[in-house]
Amino acid sequence: MGQFINLLLALGSLAGIVFILYRKIPLLLELSAEKQESAKKSVVSRLKSRIQEKVLDTTLSKARSLASKTEAQTAQWLERLRKKSEQRKEEFHDSYWQQLRKKAQRK
pLDDT in tens, 21-63: 899 888 877 776 555 555 556 777 777 888 999 999 999 999 9
Q: What is the pLDDT of residues 55-107, one digit of tens each?
A: 999 999 999 999 999 999 999 999 999 999 888 877 766 677 777 787 777 76
Cα 15 versus chain centre, distance: 40
Phi and psi for 31 in degrees, rounded to 5? -70, 140
Domain boundaries, the chain: 1-31, 48-107
Looking at residue 22, the DSSP 8-state letter turns out to be H
C-alpha 22/C-alpha 85 separation (Å) is: 75
Is this prediction's pTM over 0.75? no
C-alpha 19/C-alpha 16 separation (Å) is: 5
